[in-house]
Chain A
């Protein structure tokens, strides 16, 4: 065996043999040197199980040649023994490693599929290069007794869109293996095989939640006007995992029935995480009353539910509800006010909104104050002078957020505040101040930082400054 060289589409593949000799590296080097019209070299080490230390210098020589010719060098299919040698020699950082499955025979690829770390990549490779040879391989997988191979075969068929094998996929709906059932159902969904739906309904209550989830997802994907009615019953399950799946499926079906069932269920559901999911699911229906439902959730329930309601209001861009949300900024409940301010920061861009937030500032809890400062920055409100007054506020989080927001609103004022805050007692604020100076690079900022770093005691701030002034 000797070095094999091939070239295609600007990539030269140099495959080294298993019994390496110095001559092989010379051939490789010469080939790279003489190459024309290439941008990348792939040095294929698939057959090299071990690399003697004397060959390390040869590998470095190849690297040098590729650098001199401005070519990207990738070591592909590096075996464990070679990897260890590169590691011991501290060379791992100097080489790019990758995979090139085109070097492997179908039989070898079968073994790679059994490696969980390579499974997805190999399945993608076979699906992306699907041909008669791989079709035979997939057929072999399907008649094997190994559930991993059968599952891989199904995903390959699905990803390769090999519709002529759809009957084989449907046969797998009788498999005793949960992972195979799951894969078969998903692929049937991707292929739009509506005639399988009745069979898939049987799996909605499967003891394996992955199987039940795939069943719900596939039914939702193949849904017609009747499916919401059937899925609805699963909202009543005692198992919250089944209820979660039913919510996801109804959200995806997204018809009028699905909406009605989810709204009804919102009144009954007690599980906090499912209520969060319901808030998100309902926001996926294009209905005028959804914003009002979310507003109600924003002023009720737990922190997580309010957070979900606020982010859903932002997602549906509920700008017509800004006045209602603004009214919640003065709510007695800190969390209602907090999430209302968060939503305002994302949704509102008017002068009046900024003024109202500033007006509320003195009356609210510290946490809400921080949210207001952040919101003013996001809104780019006319609030630079108001914020500047807060640079000496007693709370360090307030001072830090002021710098953040000033940076969004007024560069000069942000720089002035940052220079002032280099003397702040809190290292968190000083760190932010250094970041602002790095961002805006005002005149003489390097010298300012060099002077200042002499007395800095905090390790993180010091390292940050040294990384800017080049002292590391």
Chain B
């Protein structure tokens, strides 16, 4: 579902396969745990093949909670199709989205 890499200044979470209500919820809870150890988490969408609105809602909720706790959530490595989902819903202006992991680490 996802793998986590400790990159020092941030955790990088590599999403895989499908982001739906169930996997989105698990992702959210895991990232909230990671935020207890590091203020910065990057979600890499490179391995995401499917995503629906329920999964997207969990990621919005994750952002909401990370903002509340002054944590830094960044997204990167989105395919054009995933980017389209974010821009369709205007969420491309809400999230910090970077072209790749390197730029997300620097940004």
* A192 touches B (CB below 8 Å): yes
Flag A238-280 by CB within 8 Å of B: 1 or 0 each. 0000000000100011110000000000000000000000001
* Shortest distance from the beta carbon of B28 to any chain A beta carbon, whole Å: 13
* B1 touches A (CB below 8 Å): no
8 Å CB contact of A316 from B49, B89, B93: B49
Closest to B17 in A: A286
| B67 with A161: CB separation less than 8 A | yes
Chain A residues lying within 8 Å of B84, measured Cβ to Cβ, are 248
Chain B residues lying within 8 Å of A255, measured Cβ to Cβ, are 52
Chain A residues lying within 8 Å of B56, measured Cβ to Cβ, are 221, 252
In the bound assembly, the distance between CA atoms of A59 and B5 in angstroms comes to: 45
Interface residues on A, range: 20 to 34
The answer to whether residues A285 and B89 also contact, given A221-B56, A315-B81 and a CB cut-off of 8 A, is no
In the bound assembly, the distance between CA atoms of A190 and B88 in angstroms comes to: 12
* A317 touches B (CB below 8 Å): yes
The answer to whether residues A280 and B49 also contact, given A158-B94, A161-B67 and a CB cut-off of 8 A, is no
| A217 with B88: CB separation less than 8 A | yes
| A217 with B90: CB separation less than 8 A | yes
Chain B residues lying within 8 Å of A223, measured Cβ to Cβ, are 53
Interface residues of A in 187-205 (CB under 8 A from B): 189-190, 192
Total B residues in contact with A, Cβ cutoff 8 Å = 25
| B81 with A280: CB separation less than 8 A | yes
Interface residues of A in 280-331 (CB under 8 A from B): 280, 284-286, 315-317
* A32 touches B (CB below 8 Å): no
With contacts defined as CB atoms under 8 Å apart, how many contacts are there between chain A and chain B in the complex? 66
In the bound assembly, the distance between CA atoms of A186 and B89 in angstroms comes to: 7
8 Å CB contact of B49 from A120, A222, A253, A317: A317
Chain B residues lying within 8 Å of A221, measured Cβ to Cβ, are 53, 56-57, 89
* B37 touches A (CB below 8 Å): no
Chain A residues lying within 8 Å of B63, measured Cβ to Cβ, are 161
In the bound assembly, the distance between CA atoms of A159 and B20 in angstroms comes to: 23
Interface residues of B in 51-107 (CB under 8 A from A): 51-53, 56-57, 60-61, 63-64, 67-68, 79, 81, 84-85, 88-91, 93-94
* Shortest distance from the beta carbon of B91 to any chain A beta carbon, whole Å: 7
| B89 with A189: CB separation less than 8 A | yes
| A254 with B50: CB separation less than 8 A | yes
* B18 touches A (CB below 8 Å): yes
* A155 touches B (CB below 8 Å): yes
Chain B residues lying within 8 Å of A429, measured Cβ to Cβ, are none
8 Å CB contact of A190 from B68, B85, B91: B91
In the bound assembly, the distance between CA atoms of A248 and B58 in angstroms comes to: 19
Flag A201-220 by CB within 8 Å of B: 1 or 0 each. 00000000000011001101
The answer to whether residues A252 and B53 also contact, given A214-B90, A220-B89 and a CB cut-off of 8 A, is yes
| A161 with B68: CB separation less than 8 A | yes
| A252 with B94: CB separation less than 8 A | no
Chain B residues lying within 8 Å of A155, measured Cβ to Cβ, are 93
Chain A residues lying within 8 Å of B81, measured Cβ to Cβ, are 280, 284, 315
| A192 with B93: CB separation less than 8 A | no
| A286 with B90: CB separation less than 8 A | no
Chain B residues lying within 8 Å of A222, measured Cβ to Cβ, are 53
* Shortest distance from the beta carbon of A143 to any chain B beta carbon, whole Å: 24
Flag A145-189 by CB within 8 Å of B: 1 or 0 each. 000000000010011010000000000000000000000001001
| B89 with A159: CB separation less than 8 A | no
| B94 with A286: CB separation less than 8 A | no
The answer to whether residues A190 and B90 also contact, given A221-B57, A252-B85 and a CB cut-off of 8 A, is yes
* Shortest distance from the beta carbon of A55 to any chain B beta carbon, whole Å: 34
8 Å CB contact of B89 from A218, A254, A286: A218
* Shortest distance from the beta carbon of B14 to any chain A beta carbon, whole Å: 16
In the bound assembly, the distance between CA atoms of A284 and B61 in angstroms comes to: 22
8 Å CB contact of A315 from B49, B60, B68, B88: B49
The answer to whether residues A252 and B93 also contact, given A192-B60, A213-B88 and a CB cut-off of 8 A, is no
Chain B residues lying within 8 Å of A286, measured Cβ to Cβ, are 18, 49-50
Known A-B contacts: A158-B94, A220-B88. Give 10 more (CB < 8 A).
A120-B93, A161-B68, A190-B94, A217-B89, A222-B53, A248-B88, A253-B53, A254-B53, A286-B18, A315-B49
For the complex of A and B, 5 pairs with smallest distance between CB atoms: A254-B52, A186-B90, A217-B89, A217-B88, A286-B50
**What are 19 A-B contacts defined by CB distance under 8 Å?**
A120-B93, A161-B67, A186-B89, A189-B89, A190-B90, A190-B91, A190-B94, A192-B60, A217-B90, A220-B88, A221-B56, A223-B53, A252-B53, A254-B20, A254-B51, A254-B53, A285-B50, A286-B50, A315-B81
Binding site for A on B (CB under 8 A): 18, 20, 49-53, 56-57, 60-61, 63-64, 67-68, 79, 81, 84-85, 88-91, 93-94
Binding site for B on A (CB under 8 A): 120, 155, 158-159, 161, 186, 189-190, 192, 213-214, 217-218, 220-223, 248, 252-255, 280, 284-286, 315-317
